[in-house]
Structure 1
Amino acid sequence: MDERYLSESSILKEIKYYIDTNFYNYAVMIDGAWGSGKTYFVKNVLLKKIESNEKRVLYVSLYGISNIQELGKKLYLDYLLKDKSKLVTEHTELVENVIGTIIDIGSPFMGKLGDIDIKEKKIKNIVQNTVKHICPMKNCVLIFDDLERCDCSIQDILGYINGFVEQAGMKVIIIANQEELRKKIDAQTLALQIRAVIGKDETLDFTEPGNGQLVKYLMSMQNKQPENEKIKKVSLNVAKERVARVFGVESEYEHIREKIVGTVFHYNPDTKKVMSNLIQKNFTYNTNDRRQLEKNINYLAESMEKAKHVNFRTFQFFLQKMDKLLQVLDGEDYENKDFIYKRVILSCWDSCILFKTGKLKDDWNDAEYIEGVKFRVRVIEDYIKYSWLNVEKGKIVFKKFDVEETRTKLLKNDPVNLLQDKWYRADSDDFIVNNMNAVIENARNGMYDIGSYDKILQIFLQIYTAGFDIEYVDRLIKAMCEGIETKSATGILDCIGTMSWESKKTEQLYKQYIRKLQEVYNKSMEKKSEDDLNIFLKEDNWAQKIYDYCLNVKHPQKQEDYTKKLSPFLKALDVKTLIRKLETSNGENLQKFASVLRLVYPLQYNPNAFIEDNEERKKLCLAMKHCKENETQLIRKFQYQIIEEYLLKFTDFEESTKE
């Protein structure tokens, strides 16, 4: 038997040689793992190649076939109906009846009718005319796919297929996952052997764990016996030992296969070609997305092979997930477009492989992404596992990648990058100390985007773990806080990285320093929010201005909108000035302010979530009640009532009493 790993082009040459020569009768097998693309290759390449050489092909999937009769009927009916002649299409029901008769007799091929006794003359005439008007079935090339997935005895199926090979001299190609086929045949053979070594006064004990497939076959053969104390239970391990003594070998696969299959071609797919075809097929509507995926096809193919997971069903699953992720990316503007697309594509692909192999861990803690051997993104992994994509979170994370890459390019020779790239392989401590001092000074002067603070902190903590004084980290945090407070530093403190791969002590230090930065940053943002909102109270259309501001905070469209702050809302406003504006405002402002409240205090939220500005809310609520009671215009009275009633839903009037 000649076993070789072949490319698609080599398999095509070998199959052509097999069909064109007649040295002896045998079948050939194309072996490949599930999801490797062998069925796609057979149906879209091999089958067309054979038919182009004026050969007729019958392709039959054995998936779910439960008995030989069912297979025979499917095979012959597919053959007859494949012909578009008037004879066949007009007499489909009669042809099915004839086929039933043929299958019952067990004819291995439809080349001759001399040994078949058909009593119905009318049916006999139809069959004879059918065979006369279409080429005999024995001239077809038969392709049997999914052999390991049939539901009946593999030995019976192979015996039936062998009838076409030996008796009819036909060309037969079998498509299978040989590893799974071997397991199935060995389990079926072992089940028969075990039944043979079990005595009449014995029964098998199925209660022990394991042996799932073997137990399935054995139970299907088990005769139901009445409860009898004299019946002895025999474990499967004891039964296997008997089989080894009686039959000598446990595996029958190679012995069975070599009787039928002369050559096995191990299918080795052109991974990049298959991936490219699938991308073309699924992204015909979007040239940009297709190109971005094709740019990274080398990595996609190499990682699939490196993970030993050549499964194109996983790749199709990946393309489905990328379709939605690419829609998120396409809707945004990035300075480093190719870089962002590459990050998302590679992260999604690696996570898909881990998910399909059962190795995708849920070990995120508070991080949103992790840079390690594999670049992992939490929002992507959540989408892969649960099919729910947090689009807003995704936009924030992907934008952070863009900002970081821009900063990396601009600051290539900045001391931060020099430390990140070289501190662990520096020739002297002076190089590290000098650059740390330079970073601290730059941070104090606001030269770094606030969004990079967590990354810089991590570098300093890594250096600290190498034995340098913690003083440098303390000085760094102090300088960063000064940059935030003096507003010389700009950007967003999102802190969505992680130090989970460090020691527990270092991780705790990271969290401690981040909390300090967060406190200073929040106070700075609240002051900024206060300044912004109170400026709006000087405008004629003040309510519309506040509404637009709050809408941008909740649904940011621009980078600068991420720096705006909403919580707590009323603490950022001069409530006395706000009340005076409401007392004298026109109906349009009153109506729009009610919309502001609905935007800031959503009904689905727990009122306790807004407890920080409860006192301010209570003052405003009482003022609206007073305005309502003293207003003479009915429409204004109605508008004050709407504002009062909505505020009441989120206001606790007992809070002050408790305090």
Structure 2
Amino acid sequence: MNYIDLNKFIKRYATQSKTKTAMLLTGDWGSGKSYYISNILCPYLKKRKVKCIVVSLYGVDNLTELSKRIYLRLRLPTFSKKSEAKEYVSIIGHSIIDNALSLKGVNVGVSDNQLVKLYESVNLKDVLIIFEDTERSSIDILMLLGYINGLVEYDGAKALIVANEKEILGQNHESFDYDFSKVLTTQTDEIDETAKDEKQYLYLRMKEKTIGDTVQFTADIIESVKSIINDYSGNWISSILRDDEIEKIAGIVRTRCNNNLRILIYALQKCDDIFSALDIERSFEDAFYQVTLEGALIFSKRFLCSDTPGWEGTNCISVQLGESRAPLFRFVYDYLLFNTYRVEDIIAASVEYSDYCCFEKNATRDKDSDLFVLENYHIQKEADVKTALENIYKKLKKTNYLGVHAYEHLALKVIRAGMVIGFDVEPICSQMISNTKKMCRVHPSSSQEIIWGLITKISDDKDVMSKYEKFMKRFAEAIDNSNSNIVFSYDPDDIEDFYHVVLKNKHIYMTRRRFMCDLDNRKIVSMLTDCTAEQISDFRSILISVYDRAMQDTYDESDKKALKDLLDKLNKISPAGSNWDKIQWMQINYLKDNITDFISKI
């Protein structure tokens, strides 16, 4: 049932039903029930002059408190004069009345008889009372249904109960298997067959009397996404999320977030926090904003479920924590986990993402006809595909063609097309490997930024997968062999310069998941014995820059062993066996504490 039909169905119940029963709207947590009630149903009913109030049962533990909430929803906004305050009141304690009404500047002094008299003056007939968060109430569900039954049967009210009935019945999403048609039967044995225990049985019997229609809520995800985005009208979000992008976001909510709209609201707010606070003028392409939100949405699902993996990827982009078409940016990761980000990281991410997309950007008819043919090989002539592959090989001999960042994508397209037409693509693949090695020698600090890692299963063709995986292994080796060793002189006078090198390239160590194991601990200890207190402090800063934000599995086991080995070697040094003064010893002890902390983290 879409929102239009659901609105009409509930309106018909509120204005025409003679059943003296309530209606149940049930759906999973986070499916958008509350958003639908507040932003779609209530405005719809108000526009058609159907009187309704929304009462949250969250945290309510007794019926007196519930009566107060209903009363205040009905009457508190109407109080304007002291005389009006004594005309309407619910059966609640004097202190609650005084506290609640004092918010409106009203002083109430009434007797118990007056309370009863004034309560009876409240007219609930044909008022639709919407009970939200039913399963989060501390009131016994049987008492609550009895209370609601009184409202609909004796007071003439209409009641819409909004709940996750699976939680009321104590059933989780996976094991819930329930035939609601049996609830309305008069045959006790059929209901007993459905109920799993006595409490369920009693609930179902009470439900049979109190609730008429049970409606399974299914969110209209696209309409919900549009409505949520409308809350950000006037800023960057509404300007870049057009219909095609909204459909993409809705697809992620459906497939990756289990239709949980709260995850979307969370991700939107976090992205808005970041971009709305920028002092620089908006200068990014729409695609960058869009993919920022998509990656944030995918990762937020994990983060909100308390799954906080360590960073995997380049300095700016992680396909592993997002997906190939919607990678997670490091500045978003930092903001979600640590509530901090740097503007320069956003700018760097936009540049790297532009490189990441360079194949798609150039694979158009007007920019590169050969890439266009390769991208669309499945609808081209065989001769044209062969010519395109030959031309691409010639172009690759110019090492700046496309840039090495595009090789992951290019290799996949080349291998797929080549295998279809029987073309030998090995020279093309070898040329890409050769170009990669040259680039890494010229730009060693940036070479690890090349590999993002495409989705694990990129093709159903096992031969394509096998050939592509072999290429990616060669590709990774070409990069790693150019950057496998950390160059350090182990001279105390070079520690400060080494610190700046490490700071610039720490993303490389994180991507490779190793740093300490590529250094020589014996040389480090020997160097430290000749260091001043300041130099020891600088060496500590090196390790802090690499490991301070590390989490479990950020670095591999060999790095953890290397840290333990360094700590063991430092612990074997005694004051008598060194030339350190007390300040130097203080710095050494700080260093040992740092290493101990790092070991526990990774």
Q: Give the TM-score normalised by structure 1.
A: 0.54
Distance 1:505 1:46 in 2: 56
1:345 paired with 2:345, answer: no
Cα distance change on mapping 1:50 and 1:443 into 2, 3 Å: closer
Q: Name the residue aligned to 2:352.
A: 400
Confirm or deny: 8 A CA contact 1:80 1:88 kept in the other structure. Answer: no
Residue 86 of structure 1 deviates from its aligned partner by 1.9
Cα deviation digits, residues 413-446 of structure 1 (max 9, x gap): 65873686368999879966x7666445434444
Cα distance change on mapping 1:86 and 1:306 into 2, 3 Å: same
Where in structure 2 are the equivalents of 1:65-464 lying within 5 Å? 65-76=60-71, 79=74, 81-84=76-79, 85-87=81-83, 89=85, 96-97=92-93, 123=111, 126-127=114-115, 130=118, 135-138=122-125, 140-183=127-170, 250-251=195-196, 252=201, 253-284=203-234, 286=235, 288-295=236-243, 296-307=245-256, 309-327=258-276, 331=280, 337-356=285-304, 364=312, 368-370=317-319, 375-377=326-328, 379=330, 382-383=333-334, 386-388=337-339, 391=342, 392-403=344-355, 405=357, 408-410=360-362, 412=364, 414=368, 417=371, 421=375, 438-448=391-401, 450-452=403-405, 454-455=407-408, 458-459=411-412
Confirm or deny: 8 A CA contact 2:68 2:90 kept in the other structure. Answer: no
Distance 2:300 2:164 in 1: 23
State the identity %. Answer: 19
Residue 158 of structure 1 deviates from its aligned partner by 0.6
Cα distance change on mapping 1:273 and 1:329 into 2, 3 Å: farther
Distance 2:405 2:30 in 1: 43
Confirm or deny: 8 A CA contact 1:64 1:150 kept in the other structure. Answer: yes
Cα deviation digits, residues 517-568 of structure 1 (max 9, x gap): 669xx99xxxxxxxxxxxxxxxxxxxxxxxxxx9xx989xxxxxxxxxxxxx
Q: 1:495 aligns with which of 440, 443, 450?
A: 450
Cα distance change on mapping 1:92 and 1:292 into 2, 3 Å: same
1:509 paired with 2:463, answer: no
Distance 2:68 2:115 in 1: 14
* Secondary structure of the structure 1 residue equivalent to 2:231: helix
Residue 175 of structure 1 deviates from its aligned partner by 1.7
Confirm or deny: 8 A CA contact 1:440 1:476 kept in the other structure. Answer: no
Residue 319 of structure 1 deviates from its aligned partner by 0.6
Cα deviation digits, residues 336-386 of structure 1 (max 9, x gap): 823333333333333334545678876836684439665333526734752
* Secondary structure of the structure 2 residue equivalent to 1:29: strand
Cα deviation digits, residues 177-205 of structure 1 (max 9, x gap): 22223327x9xxxxxxxxxxxxxxxxxxx
Confirm or deny: 8 A CA contact 1:73 1:99 kept in the other structure. Answer: no
Confirm or deny: 8 A CA contact 2:405 2:451 kept in the other structure. Answer: no
Residue 269 of structure 1 deviates from its aligned partner by 3.6
Confirm or deny: 8 A CA contact 1:454 1:497 kept in the other structure. Answer: no
Distance 1:324 1:298 in 2: 23
Whichever residue aligns with residue 278 of structure 1, its letter is: I
Confirm or deny: 8 A CA contact 1:369 1:377 kept in the other structure. Answer: yes
* Secondary structure of the structure 1 residue equivalent to 2:138: coil
Q: Name the residue aligned to 2:577.
A: none
| Worse-matched range after superposition: 404-413 or 339-348 | 404-413
Residue 299 of structure 1 deviates from its aligned partner by 1.4
The structure with more radius of gyration: 1
Structure 2, unaligned stretches of length 5 or more? 98-108, 176-188, 457-464, 488-499, 506-537, 547-586, 588-602
Confirm or deny: 8 A CA contact 1:141 1:170 kept in the other structure. Answer: yes
Cα distance change on mapping 1:131 and 1:478 into 2, 3 Å: closer
Cα deviation digits, residues 78-125 of structure 1 (max 9, x gap): 555454152354799997447999xxxxxxxxxxxxxxxxxxx96156
Whichever residue aligns with residue 395 of structure 2, its letter is: N
Confirm or deny: 8 A CA contact 1:423 1:463 kept in the other structure. Answer: no
Residue 161 of structure 1 deviates from its aligned partner by 1.4
